């Protein structure tokens, strides 16, 4: 039986992660806190709790998995912050693989600091794939009215197009379908976005939609997955937001992120699919410009914790 305990990694200690964690935990009921362990520096957490005005004794209401790291000034990119970020996530992955936590919730990290520290990943998704030995992973952004899973994420637009292939599009469709069925959405309606304007207009604006994406959709339908597409993205996201589809497959980072940031900036949750462990995250960055001021909004962290609880519950009920 998988534990229902949730592990929250501190993120970059110089960013807003410690503050949004303290704000979120201060806002939820004590019984829920008892099933949470924060992985990082207790000293940094205590400092953040003072800054946000959390209730006295907050840090005594949940567990802290202490990971050795330097205490840094808020608000600056620092190689030590990148090293600490990696150590927190690495410890969390070990705990998840051992079954000590049922889901990891990650606070934001700085990709610049992470790479400066010698850990060359595109972010949490690639890092956790490497730490768990996963062959591939997929980024899902989930919200109440719109959810998007991405064929590619943190690569240049030029590379995203060059790497596009039928197998990866099909794998993304399958991953999204399996995830939604796991969380109780039977036979989810999946729409696959086109790559080119108007899906290429029969080759006038490119042939990728006809030659790469359409065969992936056909293959998914042959597997009894309710997939449609390619559909021109200039209308697709509006249709999905208004209930026509449960999930959109976006072909590259900004195609999926821009509409999600527009309609669910504070509530979208970043979920990694394809790993042997569960992980979700806030969908915002380190916000170094306001770190240490107590101004950071914790609503996204609350959404991530709620989604993590849903994932752990589904695992306990036999989901994978």
pLDDT of residue 318: 61
- In terms of domains, do 304 and 240 share one? no
Residues 6+ apart with CB under 8 A from 212: 164, 165, 166, 169, 195
Residue 224's Cβ-side half-sphere holds a number of Cα atoms within 13 Å equal to 2
pLDDT of residue 132: 95
- In terms of domains, do 148 and 92 share one? no
Domain extent, residue 297, equals 1-136+274-320
pLDDT in tens, 170-221: 999 999 999 999 998 999 999 999 999 999 888 889 999 999 999 999 999 9
pLDDT of residue 283: 86
CA–CA separation, 12 vs 71, rounded Å? Answer: 11
- In terms of domains, do 129 and 143 share one? no
Residues 6+ apart with CB under 8 A from 162: none
- In terms of domains, do 256 and 278 share one? no
pTM above 0.85, yes or no: yes
Residues 6+ apart with CB under 8 A from 18: 10, 11, 40, 44, 45, 47, 48, 107
- In terms of domains, do 210 and 312 share one? no
Q: What is the overall mean pLDDT for the chain?
A: 94
pLDDT of residue 69: 85
Q: Apex CA 213: angle with CA 219 and CA 233, to 5°?
A: 125
- In terms of domains, do 207 and 317 share one? no
pLDDT in tens, 211-270: 999 999 999 999 999 999 999 999 999 999 999 999 999 999 999 999 999 999 889 999
């Amino acid at each position: 039986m998988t534990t229902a305990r949730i592990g929250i990694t501190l993120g970059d200690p110089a960013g807003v992660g410690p503050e949004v964690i303290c704000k979120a935990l201060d806002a939820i009921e004590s019984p829920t806190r008892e099933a949470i362990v924060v992985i990082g520096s207790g000293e940094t957490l205590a400092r953040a709790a003072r800054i946000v005005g959390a209730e006295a004794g907050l840090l005594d209401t949940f567990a802290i998995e202490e990971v050795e790291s330097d205490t840094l000034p808020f608000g600056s990119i620092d190689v030590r912050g990148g090293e600490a970020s990696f150590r927190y996530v690495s410890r969390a992955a070990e705990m998840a693989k051992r079954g000590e936590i049922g889901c990891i919730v990650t606070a934001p990290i700085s990709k610049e600091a992470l790479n400066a520290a010698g850990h060359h990943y595109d972010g949490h998704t690639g890092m956790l794939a490497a730490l768990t030995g996963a062959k591939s992973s997929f980024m899902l952004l989930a919200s109440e009215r719109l959810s998007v899973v991405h064929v590619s994420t943190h690569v240049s637009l030029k590379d995203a197009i060059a790497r596009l292939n039928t197998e990866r599009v099909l794998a993304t469709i399958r991953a999204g379908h399996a995830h939604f069925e796991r969380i109780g959405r039977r036979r989810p309606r999946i729409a696959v976005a086109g790559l080119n304007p108007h899906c290429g207009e029969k080759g006038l604006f490119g042939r990728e939609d006809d030659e790469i994406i359409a065969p992936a959709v056909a293959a998914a339908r042959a597997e009894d997955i309710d997939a449609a597409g390619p559909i021109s993205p200039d209308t697709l996201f509006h249709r999905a937001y208004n209930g026509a589809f449960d999930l959109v497959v976006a072909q590259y980072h900004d195609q999926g992120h821009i509409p999600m940031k527009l309609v669910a900036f504070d509530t979208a949750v970043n979920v990694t699919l394809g790993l042997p462990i569960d992980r979700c995250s806030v969908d915002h960055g380190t916000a170094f410009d306001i770190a240490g001021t107590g101004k950071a909004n914790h609503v996204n962290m609350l959404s991530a914790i709620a989604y993590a609880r849903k994932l752990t519950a589904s695992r306990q009920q036999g989901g994978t």
